[in-house]
Structure 1
Amino acid sequence: MKFWPMEEWLMYSILIAEDEDIIRKGLIKMISKMRLPIDIFYEARNGREALEYVYKFSPSIVITDIKMPVMDGLDLIGQIRKFNTNIKSIILSGYNEFSFAQKAIGLNVNEYLLKPIGKDELYNVMVKVINQLKIEEEETRQKAIKDIKIKEYQSIVLKEILDGQNDAQFTNIVIADAGITFAKQGFCVIAMYCSQKSDLAKNYFVRYIGRYICCIYINKYNNIICLVNINKEELNGVVSAISNGVDSFGSDASLGISDWSKDVKMLHGLALHAEEALDFRMVDDKRRIFSYIEIKKCKTQQLSLDVYFQEISNAIKVKNFMGLSSSIDSLFCFFKKSNAIPQVIKDSIEKLLLSNMTAAGRNIFDIPIEATRLFKICSSISDYKISIKQIILKIWENKGDNDQINSGNKIRIAIKYIEKNYEKDLSLQEVADYVNLNPSYLSCIFKKTTGLNYRDFLNKVRVEKSKVLLIQPKYKVYEIAEKVGFIDTNYYYRVFKKYTGITPNQYRYNLSNI
């Protein structure tokens, strides 16, 4: 008899049902000495008592005698099969009759042993049954892993649909390919803003309306997006169930409820509707639940904001930051008095940021995204106003740095242009026009960047280029002067000596004697 490998021990429980105490105790003692992965033993004197243990503890293995009072072993196995088909059963019998064996086979009994039982025979049967348990557990584990992966994949597919990453007209195909099925007739999306405890709020959804949820996730704005599959008449009940606990997640927690639709092609639209409804929390702090059916009745407004925009622009130009803050306060005060809807506020702020960032020479491509992001993540309209102030201040605080960067780029471009066109009659005006700068300003930043004024820098470039030609005897000095842009040979001599300390002829002579 071999012992079970220690590293493979996964402990099981066993119930032994036998009306004869000596046999029952003997089996327990025998099995306990086999060093099998069994750590719990239950014992019963009849089938009824054994069945109570099964209902209460659900043991991994049941060994039962056939002939017992109150309830025999075969009836016990029959009841166990109705309760839990995973429990392994071993029949002990002193009767080698075909009728017993036939009934045991019909009950899917795992093993049938005749008394008296030898240790090796019992050990082999126990090992066989335990191996069956291990195989089934591994199969169950693998199936569970597969099911989890399938559900995770299906959740990802639904999330992509809700986020609009798939073409709506192909939604049916995408859902079918992912093996997603729906039990109810239609759909609704619930969006939740919660400045804190987003994960807890997500669990709250699962707890109260879990059986309706197809997909739930936290989006890029840290809002919860929940897709529920429900019949239309169930919508009010689901909304009521999830709304009752909103207060427990803070005073700013709010819900946006989409309309109901039975068309899967509308899933992305429903998500947009839920988020659009949720945006109304920013303009109505007295309510916690916002329905798209209600908010879509709000008409798009045309507000005249030119006066406010001009005040803000003027304050920025003169760097009057107190005036800037006051002007932004006035704009938001006007939003409140006009009962501006969220979309109007977002569009207006986007326009304001775009115009001022364009004037400052800043990258404008991410402005719409940033304006939307701030509106989604801020806890109140006051916080949103503060964020907008900070953005505008940063634009103009960094303007000086941007000017320096732009100036440096302009000088590099100017130098490349000079090095390419040095042989021409190259004026400061021509270079300034090329880099789109005022000549006086170019001259100033040129000296600041290179340490030389424009004319000196140009002459130095020409001298360096002439040195290359002086190596070649075929060129006369006056020809070299003309080739590098000096019209007057005498002037070329003076400039060359200024930068090298010797004349062009001396430079050529020195080269010939090397």
Structure 2
Amino acid sequence: MKRYLLHSPFNIYHFEASEWEHPVHNHTYFEIIFILKGNGIHNINGNFFDYGCGDVFLLGPEDFHFFDIRELTEFCFIRFNEPFTKVLSESDESKWKPIIESLLHFPLQSRGSLIKDKQDKAKLLNLLSVLESEYENSQSPYYEIVRDSLMRGILIILARKLRQSDEAGQVSSYSDSVEAILLYVKKNIYFPSRLGIEELAEKFNMAPNYISLFFKKHVGESIKQYITNYKFGLIEARLTYSKLTLSEIAHEFSFTDESHFCRQFKKYSGITPTEFRRRNLPIKKEMTFIS
């Protein structure tokens, strides 16, 4: 799978397209994607979402995606890396850092567009318009101050909508502890020794039995099941969209060896990784793999 790099802390990429020319890819950075006109399908981590004017998507470094454009689409991508997020929060860490980290590291891959309300879409598009104008005048001595303020505004609106969301039966708001647990799991999904119940309980100063009940109450499934689903979701993406060998995937996710990986994958999905890959490759046969 191709991995795109960002060689500056922040940039804006505004363009129109009638056909998506990029291969399936992920990034080393975060992306806020604004749909300014047009419609089609957005594939995020193997999940398909209709998109239209005013929709806003947020992707992190581990997310992969591509667009199936049905009508000429105008995109605007705000791209920024991890150091830039620290810049946004350093002026008042106690106030901004938890909000920004909660939004940027929250598992969003099955949510699609974060904004449904027309008024919020209009607010974000207005902020984007001002941000682009400032970006074109980046030599101004006040550019970074204005840019950072506008970015905070955009992220706060997205974070607010995330907390208010009650889509698909999901809990409308998570406690700070649950957000911290989800963030920790996402950051450590490749290190299973850090994700046992005992280890998580110690990390978050809870009794093992309590952290399990607490997590299930707020998220709707057990910690163990959530970690399993998240991990194998990433693995299925590797099998579908990358040329990584089974041995390489097994190593990436810290399985003992390829045989152990294959047994666990079959236990989870009912078929072998090889069979899963064979069944899913034709779905995107028009896409070209790029290592």
Q: Which has the larger radius of gyration?
A: 1
Greater strand content: 2
TM-score by length of 1: 0.19
TM-score by length of 2: 0.33
Ranked by relative contact order (alpha carbons within 8 Å, sequence separation 6 or more), the top structure is 2
